Amino acid sequence: MHVISVNVSAARPIEIGGRTELTGIGKRGVTGPVEAHALGLAGDEQADLSVHGGLSKAVYAYPVEHYAFWQTVRAQAGVMGWGESLPHGFMGENLTISGLLEAQVCVGDVLRFANCELAVSEPRFPCFKFNAVMGFNQASKLMVSSGWCGFYLAVRVPGTLAAGEAFELIHGPRHVGIAELFRSRRAAHR
């Protein structure tokens, strides 16, 4: 398991349905170590703190293994060309990771890095801005139906994170899985 990319962005305005909305999605990779503190990564912003950010959602991780799916469906929707790659961070994640999927983590598990520890807190639920950034109206529904949501992390031990860095998964109490929690909340909103 390792970090493919560490991604940050400032909140920026985008046009959605004739209105201007602020969003922090569409982050981009940075080089070198990045400070992780209680409220997130240095240089990163979230636009709507009622649904993103804060102590329990300070860092968002997304598996790189899902990127091929999103590239394919965006090409099918005519939003991007076949063979074109999405840049890491495009899903809004701070950490593009490899080797750890939603079905393998539970609330309370810890990702231990060389200089930092992050605790798994909850799945990410897509908001209306996700469709706009992805470029087609079914993006949120596809995230919900696939369960490929990624997960939020609380900063348990502040420190630094860097692309290429390996990490280990330290199991917590293993009571509630991220995939299970995502499915249960999805069912409650139908």
Q: In 3-state terms, what secondary structure has residue 15?
A: strand
Q: Give the pLDDT of residue 187.
A: 64
From residue 107, alpha-carbon distances to 118, 170, 180 in Å are 11, 11, 10
Q: Which residues of the chain, if any, have pLDDT below 50?
A: none
pLDDT for 119 equals 98
DSSP string, 70-129: HHHHHHHTTSS-TT--PPTTTTS-SEEEES--GGG-BTT-EEE-SS-EEEEEEE----HH
pLDDT given for residue 183 in this prediction:
87
pLDDT digits (tens, 9 = 90+) for 25-51: 989 999 999 999 999 999 999 988 877
pLDDT the model gives residue 69: 95
Domain at 172, CATH number? 2.40.33.20
What local confidence, expressed as pLDDT, does residue 189 receive? 55
pLDDT for the residue numbered 188: 60
The tally of domains found in the chain comes to 1
The whole-model pTM stands at 0.95
- Residue-wise pLDDT for 159-173, tens only, equals 999 999 999 999 999
pLDDT number for residue 186: 64
Domain holding 31, by residue range, is 2-188
